[in-house]
Chain A
């Protein structure tokens, strides 16, 4: 592992949106649209997957209704920030139009690649990249382009890893820190992904957390994972299809101490349960953070 030292002073300081943390938010899913507008659950905010709202019709109509009631964050899955040959201009324009419409509290994307944009090929997964100086240059250039187009900083999320590369001399938290320093982007710290990655490819999740530059963290993700046995080796799959695991809650307690101003989100994308289950998970996160920061009531709007 080598540390990445700053080469030049950044254009602007890494600045995650600094505000009092809202109550935890949940992912907005189509099957809950009508119920949310009708019942107005007591969560702090909603996060959308950008790509689900790039058309018109009922999805956009419901998004407008939810946006009228709650803060909304836009979480992209398809920009492919780590693509070696730049990002898809057309897709970036569609994201820019959505961001203009929603006026979100946060815009975020992943430290991963999903596409070969020059070949019009999208692989529908968050693929890892080797953490090298060359990759750092490529990702920083892509983030810079996105932030310039959107005219705002974005948050970059650590991915769940199922493999790492033989030649990957920079640690993931250092890589994220370098991106924040170079581009002024913030960090979306997914504590479930940290736990999944450390289990799958090695590393101590608490050590990882300590290395993340706390001043840059604007959001924390929580989600469930499942365990698969592959050739006798237990591997964690980040399927976002269950409750948050106990070990991940422990990691979240530490994250709450380190990043007290960050927003928290419960993600649940497969086998999506009733809205009440998601609201209960969000309340659990509020309770957990309240215990740690001793300011439970301060988070309640």
Chain B
């Protein structure tokens, strides 16, 4: 006698690996063979997750074309199926997967463009959080710099690339009717570092210099302000930590802070 667990393990193998052999003896096959019935579920799994990835990565799809995108997405779904039913959280690893399938130096920018699309998706759906009140800092004005740990808004992330990914992304917002974008982009134009976050209801981004990006990266890792300053100043001795912090507060990128000795967010 088979158990419910046996059936579900066999069903998962049929969907993920196209191996219906263990499941089909359990399936009633009146009018239509068991394998054909099982395939309906496998097809739905593959098609629905391909569509899900296409919604999150429209520019990646425009760049590589629908056929190739779908081919990569189908393999990704089988190799890395979703861990949870919240599908707007699915696909972070897809751009890297697609880039690795596409083993060509000429397309090295694909993973970075996808990472930017992921940052936009992430920022849109991230949990809400009130921005930091600058007055809250007054309560901790006596504290040392190595005590401060600033918290970025849950929507904030950093995307860095050696390629002009923002230009590529913009050029693919308006795809021409013949499928070709309306601009030619010189990949040698240089790299970019972008801070992406949600401001009110809108996903926004800001270009950062190397020192600024290094500063934000340390804050994103929840390391103390002191470390962020040292890291940024190593990139650029002219870096202005106070001006940078004021800018992050003004842009509502900061959600609060805690102290190394007291993890309560203020």
Contacts and interface: CB of A to CB of B under 8 A. Distances in A.
SS class of chain B's interface: helix, strand, loop or mixed? Answer: helix
Contacts of A164: 27-28
Contacts of A85: 5
Given A57-B155, A235-B40, A135 B4 contact: yes
Interface residues of B, number: 51
A230 B32 contact: yes
A113 B40 contact: no
6 contacts: A52-B88, A60-B128, A84-B7, A94-B86, A115-B85, A123-B12
Interface residues of A, number: 54
Interface of A: 51-52, 54-61, 77-80, 82-85, 88, 90-91, 94, 113-116, 119-125, 127, 129-130, 132, 134-135, 138, 162-168, 201-202, 230-231, 233, 235, 237
Given A116-B9, A164-B28, A55 B125 contact: yes
Nearest to B85: A78
A134 B31 CA distance: 28
B237 interface: no
Indicate the member of A80, A121, A168 with the most B CB atoms within 10 Å: A121
B186 interface: no
B196 to A, nearest CB: 13
B85 A51 contact: yes
B49 A124 contact: yes
Contacts of A163: 27-28, 34, 37-38, 40-41
B81 A113 contact: no
* Interface class of chain A by DSSP: mixed
B201 A57 contact: yes
B36 A230 contact: yes
Nearest to A59: B125
A54 B265 CA distance: 23
A203 to B, nearest CB: 11
Contacts of A55: 86, 88-89, 125-127
A132 B7 CA distance: 12
A201 B7 contact: no
Contacts of A113: 8
B44 interface: yes
